[in-house]
């Protein structure tokens, strides 16, 4: 009778191990998809924003910011929000896009006979509106999670289900494996408080 129970536990352990592996694979694919999306956004938009913010001439800044705006338009990053639960103003893509457009318009409308001081002021204003210089480093201001828009909710549920699946099936596998083999995988450490 014990042998039959051990065989059933071993079979359950194998099934749980397979399911845990599938959820782990799903988690790894999710992470890979996030990395690919982030790199695509960095190469197509954020890097041009950084170059525009660091440009020394109005013409160069206008050209680089124009490339970032083209990427935003082609990928429908002109309105909406990347928030899932709370509508945080920093995640408003409409404001982000309008801010970049206004900065680009200011560069385009710069008079040819503008003084060097006016040009420098516009470039400084552009740098301040595109980058955040907190913590001693400079980073481009973009809504968090913009690289996976409009699939933010799908990515959230994908990651949640995958991670919960890995966790649940790991524990189910461990319990079934312990029953089948008699070896301990899950142990509890007890905290002993010693009084002085």
CB burial of 12-24 (b: ≥16 within 10 Å; e: otherwise) equals: bbeebbebbeebb
List pLDDT tens digits, range 21-79: 999 999 999 999 999 999 999 999 999 999 999 999 999 999 999 999 999 999 999 99
pLDDT band at 138 (very low <50, low <70, confident <90, very high): confident
Selection from 137, 140, 117, 114 nearest residue 127 by Cα: 140
Domain definitions of the chain by residue range = 2-181
Q: How many CB atoms lie within 10 A of CB 149?
A: 19
% of the chain at pLDDT higher than 70: 92
CB burial of 151-161 (b: ≥16 within 10 Å; e: otherwise) equals: ebeebeebeee
- The enclosing H or E element of 58 equals helix 58-74
Contact between 100 and 68 under an 8 Å Cβ cutoff? The reply is yes
Q: What is the pTM of this model?
A: 0.84
């Amino acid at each position: 009778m014990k042998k039959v129970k051990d065989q059933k536990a071993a079979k359950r352990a194998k099934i749980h191990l397979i399911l845990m592996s599938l959820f782990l694979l799903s988690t790894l694919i999710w992470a890979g998809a996030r990395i690919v999306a982030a790199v695509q956004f960095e190469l197509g938009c954020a890097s041009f924003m950084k170059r525009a913010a660091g440009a020394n001439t109005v013409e160069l800044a206008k050209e680089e910011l124009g490339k970032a705006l083209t990427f935003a338009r082609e990928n429908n990053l002109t309105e909406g929000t990347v928030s899932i639960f709370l509508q945080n103003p920093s995640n408003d893509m409409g404001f982000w896009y309008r801010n970049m457009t206004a900065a680009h318009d200011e560069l385009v409308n710069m008079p040819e006979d503008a003084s060097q001081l006016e040009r420098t002021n516009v470039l400084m204003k552009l740098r301040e509106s595109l980058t955040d210089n907190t913590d001693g480093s400079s980073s481009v201001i973009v809504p968090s999670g913009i690289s996976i828009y409009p699939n933010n909710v799908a990515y959230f549920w994908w990651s949640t289900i995958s991670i919960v699946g890995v966790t649940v099936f790991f524990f189910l596998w461990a319990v079934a494996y312990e029953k089948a083999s008699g070896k301990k995988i899950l142990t509890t450490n007890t905290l002993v408080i010693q009084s002085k």
